[in-house]
Amino acid sequence: MPKSLTHRRRPPRVSLSEHPLRGSDKVTKTPMNIVELIYKEAGPDRWRLLLASTAAGVGNTLVLVFINAAAQEPDAVDGRAFFLFAVLMLAYILGARYLFHRTIDIVEEILHRIKGRIVEKILRADFAALERLGTSEIYDRITENATVISGAVGLVTNVLQQLLIFLFAIVYIAWMSLPAFVLLGILTAAGLALYWTRSEVMVGFLQHLAKTRVAFFDVLTDLLRGFKEVRFSRRRGQQIRDDVMRTSADLRDTTRKANHLFDDNFILASCNLFVLLGALVFVLPRHVHMEPATLTKLVSGVMFLWGPLQGAVSGYPAYVRSNQALREIETLERKLDAAAAAKVSEGALSDPWKGKPGAIVAQGVEYEYARTNGDETFRIGPVHFTIDPGEIIFIVGGNGSGKSTLLKVLTGLYTPTLGTLSSGGEAVRPQNAPAYREMISAIFSDFHLFSRAYGLLDVDGDAVTRLLAQMQLEGKTGFKDDRFTRRDLSTGQRKRLAMVVSLLEDRPIHVFDEWAADQDPAFRKYFYEELLPALKARGKTVIAVSHDDRYFHCADRVFTMEYGKLLSIEPGHRAPARPSTESTEQSLPS
C-alpha cells in the first residue's frame, strides 16, 4: 500500500467574477407569445422580415391576378407577360426564403440563450431548493419544450405568411366586387372566431400534458435508477410497470383528445370554404347583379383563398403548442429564480479567505427542511463547535441522525435556518458562500463522477497516473483527453476515483461522507491510518462521516449525532467503541 500522497502544484483557481454567460440574465422574461418573441429578438432585422414577408405575399397574390387576366385574354400573353410572371415568382421565392431562414436562425439563437440562461440559474440556485424542484421538470422544459418550439417555428412562420397572402387576396376580391368582399369578410370572420374559440380549449389540454410528461419522467427515472431493486421483486416491477403504463395512458388520452380537437377544427375550416363558395354562387347573385365573368373570377379568388387559409389553419396548432411551451419555460425560470441562493450581483461576490479558511465555527447553527405536503419536517441543531485547521473530525451516529445534513450545512450547501456558520472569523453569507465552497473538496455518499474532469481540465496527466496507482486503479481506468477512460466500476472503485479527483483539487478542507463504507478491509485501513494522517500532515482539515468505530482513534475528535442533536464531542482515543464486526469481513474484490 502506498505510504504518501502525491504532491503537486495547486491548479489555478477560477475567479469568482468569471461567468461564461455574462449578460445572459439581461433577458428578464420569456415572452408568452412566439410572434412577440420573434419580433422582440429580431432587432434591426424586423423590418427586413416585414419587407420579405410583404414581397412574398404580394408576389403570390399578383400571380393569381396575372393568371386570371391571362386566362381572360390568352392571345395577349407574350414574352413580356412570361417575364413578369417569372419576376413575381422570384419575388415570392426570395421573400419567403429569407423570411423562413432568418426566422429559424432567430428562434434557434433564442433557444440557445434560454438554455444557457437556465443552466446559469441552476448553477446559482440554492441546493436545497433545487433538490425540492427535482430534475424531471428541468429535463422536460429544456428538451421537450425547446424541441416543440424549434419544430414549430417553420409552421408558425408559414401561418403568418399565409395570413398575409390571405389579406392581399381579400383586397383583390374587394377590388373585383365590394358586396362579395363584405359577404366573404363576415363569413370568414365568423368561421375564424369559432375556430379560435374552440382552439382555446387546447391550452388546458396542453397544460395537463406538460404535467403528465413530468410525472412520466419521474416514474421512468424510478425504474431506471432502481433497476437492480426491481430485478429482485417481480411484484415491484409489475407495480412500477403499472404506474408507467398508467401515466403513458394519460399521455396518450390527452394527446389524442388534443389532436382530435385540432382535426375537428381543420374540418370546420374546410366547411367554411364550402360555405364561402355556396354563398358566392347561390346567394350573392340573387341579390346583386354580377357578370358571369366576374363571378368566375370571384370563385377563382375564393379557391385561391383556400390555400392560405388551409396553411394558417394547419399551422395554428403549432402556434398554440409553441406558446404553451414558452409559458412552461417561463414558469421553470420563475421557479429557478425563486430557488436562487441569493440575489447577489457579480460585483458583490467576495472572497475574504483567499484560500485560507481558518477555524470553522458553528454558533447555535440549526437547519430545518422545508415542509412539503404537510409532512413533518426534520431539524438538526442547535449545534456549537469549533474545528481548527488541520484537525481530523469524525461525525458518527445512527441512520437518520442528521450526519449528512450537518455535512451539507458545514460545506455551505444548506444555509442555516438559525445561527451562524463562520470560517476564519468571517461569517459565511450569500456574498461569500461560493468562495467558501471553493475551499472544500467533498465526496458525498451519493457522489457523481463527471464525464470530464471539470474544474481540472489543465491537470498534469502524470499526477493523475500516480494517484490512480495510489488508489489501486491502474489498469482499471486511465486518463486521456481530460477524461477517465472508464467510469463503469464497482462502487468502491468509483469512490476511489472520486478520491483521485478530490486529491487533485488539493483544497484545504476535505469532506468524506462514509467514504470507507464500500472499501475492503485493507483499503479501509489505508484510508484511516495512512491517507487521513497524510492529509493532516499537509495541514488539511478532514471532516468524515464514519461508522468504523475501531478507527475512532485516528480522529482528533468524534462528534456524535442523535435525532438531529449533537450528543457529544470527545477526543478520538476516548470515543466509545461499539462491538466491531470487521474481524469477520473477508477481503473482497472491489
**Domains along the chain?**
32-338 (1.20.1560.10), 360-577 (3.40.50.300)
Average pLDDT in the chain = 80
Which residues are 571's β-sheet partners?
Answer: 557
Query: Dihedral of CA 483/489/491/496: which sign?
Result: negative
In one-letter notation, the amino acid at residue 231 is R
Separation between Cα atoms, residue 228 and residue 411, nearest integer Å = 31
State yes or no: pLDDT of 262 exceeds 80: no
- 3-state class (DSSP) for residue 576: coil
Query: Dihedral of CA 53/55/58/63: which sign?
Result: negative
- DSSP 8-state code for residue 168: H
Between 238 and 196, whose confidence is greater?
238
Separation between Cα atoms, residue 90 and residue 55, nearest integer Å = 10
Query: Among 225-229, 440-444, 532-536, 547-551, whose mean pLDDT is lowest?
Result: 225-229
Cell matching residue 77: 400573353
How confident is residue 575, by pLDDT bands cut at 50, 70 and 90? low
Cell matching residue 94: 426570395
Distances (CA, A) of 567 to 154, 385, 401, 550, 576: 65, 12, 10, 20, 13
User: Looking at residues 472-498, what average pLDDT do you find?
Assistant: 90
Ranges of H-type helices in 476-567: 491-505, 521-526, 532-537
How many whole angstroms from its chain centre is CA 229? 28
Distances (CA, A) of 543 to 163, 182, 439, 573: 67, 82, 13, 16
Separation between Cα atoms, residue 449 and residue 501, nearest integer Å = 9
Length of the chain: 590
Concatenated DSSP letters of 321-362: HHHHHHHHHHHHHHHHHHTBS----GGG---SSTT----EEE
Q: Are strands 557-562 and 565-571 parallel, antiparallel or unpaired?
A: antiparallel
The confidence score (pLDDT) of residue 34 equals: 82
pLDDT in tens, 48-95: 888 888 888 777 777 767 776 777 676 666 777 778 888 888 888 888
The confidence score (pLDDT) of residue 76 equals: 66
What string of H, E and C letters represents the secondary structure of 174-235?
HHHCHHHHHHHHHHHHHHHHHHHHHHHHHHHHHHHHHHHHHHHHHHHHHHHHCHHHHHCCHH
pLDDT in tens, 163-205: 777 787 788 788 888 888 888 888 878 877 777 777 777 777 7
Query: Residue 340 phi/psi, 5° resolution?
Result: -60, 135
Phi/psi class of residue 19: alpha, beta or left (left: φ > 0; alpha: ψ in -120 to 50)? beta
The confidence score (pLDDT) of residue 32 equals: 61
- 3-state class (DSSP) for residue 223: helix
Query: Among 184-198, 225-239, 285-299, 553-567, whose mean pLDDT is lowest?
Result: 225-239
Q: What is the reported pTM?
A: 0.69
The confidence score (pLDDT) of residue 573 equals: 67
- Count of C-beta atoms within a 10 Å radius of residue 297: 22
- 3-state class (DSSP) for residue 468: helix
Q: Which of 276, 238, 240, 304 is nearest to 67 (CA)?
A: 304
In sequence order, the 6+-apart residues with CB closer than 8 A to the CB of 444 are 404, 407, 511, 513
Separation between Cα atoms, residue 393 and residue 412, nearest integer Å = 17
The confidence score (pLDDT) of residue 9 equals: 38
CA dihedral 469, 475, 477, 478 (to 10 degrees): 70
Place of cell 462502487: 491
